[in-house]
Amino acid sequence: MKKSMILSAAFVAAAASIGVALADDMSGMNMSNGAMMNHSASSKHNALTDATVKGVDATSGMVTLKHGALTNVGMPAMTMAFKAKDAAMLSSVKEGDNVKVRVENVNGTMTIVKMTK
């Protein structure tokens, strides 16, 4: 019984010292919105994805893209039409253009929020 109490105390002390060491190494963590996210991971989520414009429909405000994986919205690589955030995006691209895009879920609609050639 005495041995188990001593071992338990030693375990608690060791766990506490490990916790202090881990807490000291959290300076690079982003704690916004209650989420723990490493800054390098958050910059990956802000990254642009390579895509090819397959079509532009100014009437509907849609751009069809053949795109790589959109990890920030959990979408694998595919060809799909997206709503453009603003009309200027529609006039700046044409079918066949290679672009980089950022797509986000805006009020339930997958929307191109940034697009560059």
Assign domain 48-116 one CATH number from 2.40.50.320, 3.40.1280.10, 3.40.710.10, 3.40.50.300: 2.40.50.320
At 2 the pLDDT is 58
Task: Kindly report, residue by residue over 27-40, the tens digit of the pLDDT.
Answer: 444 444 444 444 34
Cβ(89)–Cβ(103) below 8 Å: no
HSE-CB for 73 with a 13 A CA cutoff: 22
Q: Are strands 78-84 and 109-116 parallel, antiparallel or unpaired?
A: parallel
Q: How much is the average pLDDT of 65-94?
A: 96
Q: Which two tokens stand for residue 94?
A: 């044409």
At 40 the pLDDT is 41
Task: Kindly report, residue by residue over 59-70, the tens digit of the pLDDT.
Answer: 999 999 999 999
